[in-house]
Structure 1
Amino acid sequence: MSMLNTLPSRDREALASAAACFQQGRLDDAVRLARELLARQPGLGLANKLLGSALHAQGRHAEAVVVLRLAVRQMPQDAQAHTNLGNALAAAGQPDDAIASHRTAIALQPEAATPRYNLGCTLLAQGRREEALQALWQAFEKAPTEADTARLCRELLAEIGDEQRLGAFCRLNLQHLPDDAGALAILGALLLKDAGADRAEAENLLRTALQRAPGDAATWSNLGVALQADGRVAEAVEAGRRATTLAPDWAQGHSNLAVALRDAGAWDESKTHCLRALSLDGDCVDAYYNLGCVCVDLGEHALAREAYIEAVKRAPRPGWLLQGAHACRQVLDWDGAELLEEELARQLADAPLPGGAAALSPFAFLTTPGTDAAGQLAVARQFAAQFAARPALRRPVAKAPGEEAGRRLRIGLLSADFRDHATAHLLTGVLEEIDRSAFGLVAYDHGPMAAADDAYRGRLEAAIPEWVTVAGLSDEQAAQRMLADGIDIAIDLKGWTQGYRGGILAYRPAPVQMQWLGFPGTMGAPWLDYLIADAVTIPPGAEAAYSECILRLPGCYQPNDTRREVAPTPPRAALGLPEGALVLAAFHQHYKITRATFALWLDLLRQLPTAVLWLLDAPAEARAVLEAAAVGAGVDPARLVWALRLPASEHLGRFAAADLALDVFPVNAHTTASDALWAGVPQIARCGDSFVSRVSASVVSAIGCEALVARDDDAYAALVLALAQDVPRREALRERIRAARGRAPLFDSAGFARCLEAGWRQAWARYAAGLPPAHIDAG
């Protein structure tokens, strides 16, 4: 017979009234009624359970423990009494006893969720996270529609950092609570971090989460990250702005928005949001890294270096170490660069290359001393893999081979540099010579707006009949536009360099796809069929280090513009050069000047007492590094002469005042080598084993000066010394170079265009015949 049935009706009513007061939150009344009842029925366990629970709810935990201990003695099989005692014990600072009580309750009621939930909370309060997770997960399995239990499990998994289990739990969570915004948002965010995950699923989860919880700033921010990764920059900026409006004091939201703004070309605003993030949270590591990236865009290399160093201090990730080292080299901080590169090498020796968004920058890697062509291929492939899952667009069915073979081809040129830029300086003259009856050129421009007086932009617009601005389009939208435009051969002129949009061609909008000129190495991208090169930059037999088939042009792969103006050469005194000195010009971007290269130059200066080294002007910090190195090598720093940056024609004019142009290694002079020869100055070439270290050799060979190519440092130094001491030979070289400007393949824009057209035709003929891409020798 039930204990309640033996009570007088008055006491049953009193117990019911006390319970009702407890449920209504009238705790004082519940305590009073329970005490009155116990005065009449001191052995009534139900009354003690109710009184103890009310006291616990009032915060009178020690009193609650005393009463609830009595209750469990009176009702040893009552699981709820043990659970309530466990809660009171935990609140009273007796965790071990609390855990024992919860375990007893579980044993008495093994199918109930509540005892396991309470045990999990108690264990969690003690920092026993794995045990807490086990109990809470079991509670969730018993009651999978309890949203609070699911939330605690997710939060605990996130704290533990077990993203694999967190993703699995979220999927299980959504089976039972498909509208759980927290699970939707977390699973979407996790998929963003997984290089092999379905981006569309991630976006769909995040958007669904926002339908359920439209005020969640973190979900808006993650949606922005998803859109930015998909190349949908305008949408990403909008989502990022929503996040920072909802949570203006959340540092990570500002940092994420900064990434989208950077991709949109709003560099100053991007920098502002990075700085805002750091003002809110000085340890927001992503904000330091993103600040470094946008400062590189802005040309603020000293600040970029500082930001990257702060990032790697907090999180020495491989990709960040590499970018930090490259930023150090931009300001000639060799010590910092070498320290970061050593740590990077150590990490890569212990673990595979990182993938996804954490993949190493292929450009920064190929410019790092000590890397080789095989390593550059591996890094490029890993970087390209984050775009490789993009589905190929459905193109119209190809025409029969006879119809395809000889028709006019549409060539799509993809670049951010259709303006006064080194790429345009090289390319414009050749594009002006392309046969418009046989080839229709279309520019797909994703760069900043060109200045109104940009002469190169004007010439390019005249040479390229059709222009499409894709800067505001997503990668897929840009690819769809190429498809709609009927592009036959698409050429990426940017590669993995600053401002790349390599993901556009990952959708395979054109039947034949190539890369050329912007990136001096392999892109490792399976969607690119050809790399346009020559027999010097990629000698026959070296093709295995490149993911693309090689389309070799005769002479040099690098075009030149024979319409480039050369201003008159000023007197040496006006240039800060001493009369009678041997002028060794080294007008290179500063990251190319390594410690070893500069040491070699200083050794040459020691052996050539009348020589000066003519360098592009540098910030004070970088100048101080080079001047200190000179002093350390016993060279008067006054022999380092600094050249201010000038417009292209004026720069070419003053270049002619040099006696010799020195090469850099492992990243050669590229456009600078052509500049030297166009100005009539002998260019020494230091030839290595990878594309990026063979460009100078290609350039000087194409003008018929193979004797200026050195295969190692000793040969390089010997060649400089020999020419420095042989004035007649130098003068003969200068005359030969000046004469060659009108007939050498390097400066024959029309001839280059014919060879390029022949290469395009051969590549297209293979496609039209149903054959796969293969190595091609054009010309």
Structure 2
Amino acid sequence: MKHQKELTQEDAEHLRESADSKGYGDSSKGPKSPRMESLDSKVQQLTRRADFFASRARYAEALPLVDQALHLEPNRADLHLGRGQCLMHLEKFDAALASYEAALRLDAQCIAAQRSKALLLAKQQHWPDAIISLREALILESSMELRFELARCLTEHAIKLKAAGHADLQLVHEAIQACDSYAPAYFQLGVYYSEVHDCTKAKEMYRKAVQLHPGYLEALNNLGVACRELGEWEHAIEAYAMALKVNPNCSKTRENMAISMLQLGCRHLQCKELKEAGKVLKQGLTFNSRNPDIYFNLGVLYAEREKYDRAKVNYELALHFDSRNVNAHNNLGVIHRRLGNVEAAMKCFESALEVDSKMNLANKNLGAIYGSMGRMADAIRLTKIAIESNRQDAEAYNNLALLLRDQCDVDACLENLDICISLEPESRHAGSNRLMTLNYQSERSAEEVFEAHRSWGSGIECRVNQVFSWDAPRAHTGIRVGYISPDFYSHSVSYFIHAALQYHDPAFVDVTCYSDVLLEDDKTRQFKGMVPKWRTVIGRTDDEVAKLIHDDGIDILVDLTGHTGNNRLGVFARKPAPVCITWIGYPHTTGLTRMDYRISDEHADPKDAPGLTTERIIYLPECFLCYTPPETAPAVVLRPAQESYGCITFGCFNNLTKVSSLTIRLWSKLLREVPDSRLFVKSKALACPKVQEKMKAAFAAHGIETSRLDLTGLQPQTGSHLQMYSFIDVALDTAPYAGTTTTCEALYMGVPVVTLKGRGIHAQNVGASLLSAVQLEDLVTDTEEDFVKQAAACARNLPRLAALRAGLRTRMMRSVLCDGPRHVARLERLYANVMSDSAARSKSSMLSNLQEQPFALAAEVQ
């Protein structure tokens, strides 16, 4: 036996203090011989010293003492137990286990040995043996410590089997039966239910684990995940907040907290709860300032609130942390486009397509930009890719239809609009786009086009539930007039509404503008300064806008859009004002019976053959339009084009869609009549070479050589566009849809326009109204032959062309066409007459209790 370390004085004192203690096992049971007493005394001394060393964790020193005692008394179970405990602390586990088993062979009821054996097996992760040993120990002593340890071993054994691909959930249930306060067992049940997608049960198990162990970090995190899966974002946030109290620096918890706040913010966004969404999303950034999805949704939030600069910054941050976020690229492009930066928008859409060449939205948006630039082939290609990626995308079919219409493929346009409407029967845009397109087809009868409008109006009026009542008398004096339009910017309509806003009589008419303008410009700001009340309604629903108008107490609500883009005819279907009028923006009926009147004149709608309409036509004297020229218009080039360029040049700057088969036939006759002449056509779609080839082929079919055609796209500025009238001798109008703004521009630049009237077709007769207003009635023709004759004669009359170049602008500015104060005085008298007539008709209706006919062909209000 090795020499033992000498005891210190302090150690000796402790030994003396424990001199009467029993030590490892005083087994004396009666009188003993002197020899036995001596042996017991020696063993007792050894065990006392071993106890002392063990109490100070000096097991290496205690073990030899126990071994000496066992040498003297090898059949004492307590000595084998003590030896096992020393060995276990010295991490000699196999030897310790052998000692415990030796103790149990000597004393099967030794609970301490059984317990120690079980704990040692558990420490060695021999889970099956530990479970057996613990169950045997529990037979001897059912203590909470042992039950807890059994639950632990059962749970750990279940985890090990699962990792090996042999899951046994029964072991976890047995663990809970052994100790129903063992939190990890509930946690493992939660994991199981999570994996089988039973999030409700998983949440229940995780919550139980947390109740048993409030600082259980893993359970708190998983509880948050289960709540997220259930869409309980607030509960998830509570769970992660508790986890962060346990460990505020846990990166996984912070990431999960940020994700939960992101999801809660998205829910608020979907519900249009923008203030709450902003608060939650910003708070989410405090937990993970690098989460691109939070920045993306903040971009969506600010875009919804029309704070485009902030939206832009957040989309850029989303891309900073995730450069392949196609939605952020796309949405940033949308913001750039709304801010007027088309070049930056294009780059964003192109970046999105570099990540995902099939992305539906980016293809549509880039296609729309290309279309606005006249790159028709590219625009159509991209839009078709968008359709291929989503055959149910009604908007993509609508976009494709408009692109096809812009390049004069009207039949193909209608086919795609029909598909759009079949996918989305109540589409706000497609129905109106279809009606607009019908106006371009010379092959359709006036009755067919009217019936399509009437049917559309009947459909929307059937779908609208809330129609405002106007039985109560008006509480205010004067006339409250509301103008509603998306075109209060540098748009064709702006040239014709300008006078009504500038010269209204505030003592007689109180004007409110309801603006749906997406991107305001200098013209918008100019208009805002002309009227007392300006309401921006962009982004509001038709119900919301109708209620706003009703609450404003508008007497006469005037539509300036008709079936053109972004119209608000749905508002008029709700009848938010006692009198509803359509004017300027659209050359046909709206189809609504709740639209009371349409303003026209006797040139556009002769009383013996007015256009078919669901509204009552009311007439302004001489001309129903008043033109305000652009301030940036260049000076007129006084020399006629043929004098400068050596040949007669006819021209047209209208939308190419207006160049119908009738128009091409008519112009071809004129070119054959004047063989030395040329035709100059400028339109957006003609920037595309494929569209040019198609147009040349259409004229070639009528025997016109392509060398006689000059085809070009749009000019970037109004001034450069107007300057190009210097290349034209005579402007040619289109049919059956005549020009309006282009006719006024030609006249203002000193170029005469020849137009062809159409019986009962308002759209074709607008040119007649404008030319009559400037006393050029001889250029208004009734037949194709007369059109060719008059245009040829006008082009050959060089003195007259020179005179018109020199004096037409002045004549125009002095005419009723540009006399704003005179025009507006007549317009506001018309409003007064309409109000009186409406009141009289309402009174008569109440007295007779009879229904009025849904539409009248013509009825002038005196």
- TM-score range (shorter-chain normalised) is 0.5 to 0.7
Superposition map of 1:192-211 within 5 A: 200-201=272-273, 203=274, 206-207=277-278, 209-210=280-281
Structure 1 residues 770 and 320, CA gap change in structure 2 (3 angstroms): same
Distance 1:344 1:447, change over 3 A: closer
Query: What do residues 104-160 of structure 1 show as CA deviations (whole Å, max 9, x unaligned)?
Result: xxxxxxxx99879747746xxxxxxxxx6xx557767998999868967987xxxxx
- SS of the residue aligned with 1:262? helix
Tell me whether 1:53 sits opposite 2:124 in the alignment.
no
1:412, 1:490 within 8 Å by CA — same for their partners in 2? yes
CA contact (8 A) 1:663 1:685 kept: no
Distance 1:708 1:504 in 2: 37
Q: Give the 3 Å change call, closer, same or farther, for CA 15–634 of structure 1 in structure 2.
A: farther
2:692 is the counterpart of 1:623: yes
The answer to whether 1:684 aligns with 2:756 is: yes
After superposition, residues 66-105 of structure 1 pair within 5 angstroms as 80=173
1:661 pairs, out of 732, 735, 743, with 732
What's the CA shift for 1:326? 1.9
* Matched residue SS, 2:680: strand
CA contact (8 A) 2:433 2:563 kept: yes
Please tell me the residue identity of whatever aligns with 1:292: G
**By how many angstroms is 1:757 displaced?**
1.0
Residue of structure 2 in register with 1:160 after alignment? none
Which residue is equivalent to 2:345? 270
User: How far apart are the structure 2 equivalents of 1:381 and 1:149?
Assistant: 55
State the one-letter code of the partner of 2:687. Answer: P
1:37 aligns with 2:124: no
**SS where residue 558 of structure 1 aligns?**
coil
2:740 counterpart residue number: 670
Structure 1 unaligned blocks of 5 or more:
20-28, 84-111, 123-131, 156-168, 194-198, 711-715
Match among 635, 639, 645 for residue 570 of structure 1: 639
1:360 partner amino acid: A
> Is the counterpart of residue 585 in structure 1 residue 663 in structure 2?
no
Unaligned runs of 5+ residues in structure 2 are: 1-107, 138-149, 177-185, 209-219, 239-256, 442-447, 846-851
Name the CA distance, whole Å, in 1 between partners of 2:694 and 2:115: 91
- Higher alpha-carbon Rg: 2
Aligned 1:42-441 pairs, distance under 5 A: 50=155, 52-56=157-161, 59=163, 61=164, 65=166, 80=173, 118=192, 121=195, 170=231, 173=232, 200-201=272-273, 203=274, 206-207=277-278, 209-210=280-281, 213-214=284-285, 217-218=292-293, 221-222=296-297, 224-225=299-300, 228=303, 233=308, 236-237=311-312, 240=315, 243-244=318-319, 247-295=322-370, 304-316=379-391, 317-330=393-406, 332=407, 334=409, 339=412, 341-346=414-419, 348-349=421-422, 351-355=423-427, 360=430, 362-363=432-433, 366-367=436-437, 372=449, 404-405=476-477, 407=478, 417=488, 422-428=492-498, 434-435=504-505, 438-439=508-509
Aligned position for 1:752? 823
Please tell me whether the aligned partners of residues 268 and 276 of structure 2 are also in contact (alpha carbons under 8 angstroms).
no
Give the alignment's Cα RMSD to 1 decimal. 6.3
Superposed displacement of residue 254, structure 1:
2.6
What is the CA–CA distance in structure 1 between the aligned matches of 2:207 and 2:781, rounded to whole Å?
A: 73
- Does the C-alpha gap of structure 1 residues 147 and 730 become closer, same or farther in structure 2, counting only changes over 3 Å? farther
SS in 2 for 1:422: coil
Tell me, yes or no, if the aligned pair for 2:332 and 2:345 is still in contact at 8 Å.
yes
Q: C-alpha displacement at 1:321, in angstroms?
A: 1.7
**Could you tell me how far 1:578 is from its partner in structure 2?**
2.0
Aligned-residue offset at 1:318: 2.1
Which residue number corresponds to residue 50 of structure 2?
none
Range with bigger deviation, 436-445 or 212-221? 436-445
The verdict on how the C-alpha distance between 1:587 and 1:727 changes in structure 2, with shifts beyond 3 A counting, is closer
Q: Deviations over 1:18-73 (max 9, x none)?
A: 77xxxxxxxxx663x3265379799999899556534356x5x25xx3xx6xx78x
**How many Å apart are 1:423 and its aligned residue?**
3.4
Q: In structure 2, the residue corresponding to 1:278 is in which secondary structure?
A: helix
Closer, same or farther in 2 for the Cα pair 1:693/1:314, shift >3 Å?
farther
Same amino acid, percent of matched pairs: 18
Letter in 2 for 1:366: M
Shift of 1:512: 7.2
2:705 aligns with one of 636, 645, 668: 636
CA distance 1:340–1:154, change in 2 (3 Å): farther
Residue type at the aligned position of 1:309: K
Residues 309 and 324, structure 1, Cα contact 8 Å, conserved in 2 = yes
* Separation in 2, partners of 1:177, 1:508: 47
> In the TM superposition, what is the alpha-carbon distance from 1:636 to its structure 2 partner?
0.9
Q: TM-score, normalised by structure 1?
A: 0.62
Query: Structure 1 residue 624: deviation in Å?
Result: 3.2
Q: 1:141 to 1:647 in 2, by over 3 A?
A: same
Equivalent position amino acid for 1:588 in 2: N
SS of alignment partner, residue 366 of structure 1: helix
What do the CA deviations read for 1:679-710 (whole angstroms, capped 9, x no partner)? 43321245676x65664465567779599576
- Work out the CA distance in 2 between the residues paired with 1:151 and 1:596: 67
Provide TM-score, normalisation by structure 2: 0.57
1:683 match: secondary structure: strand
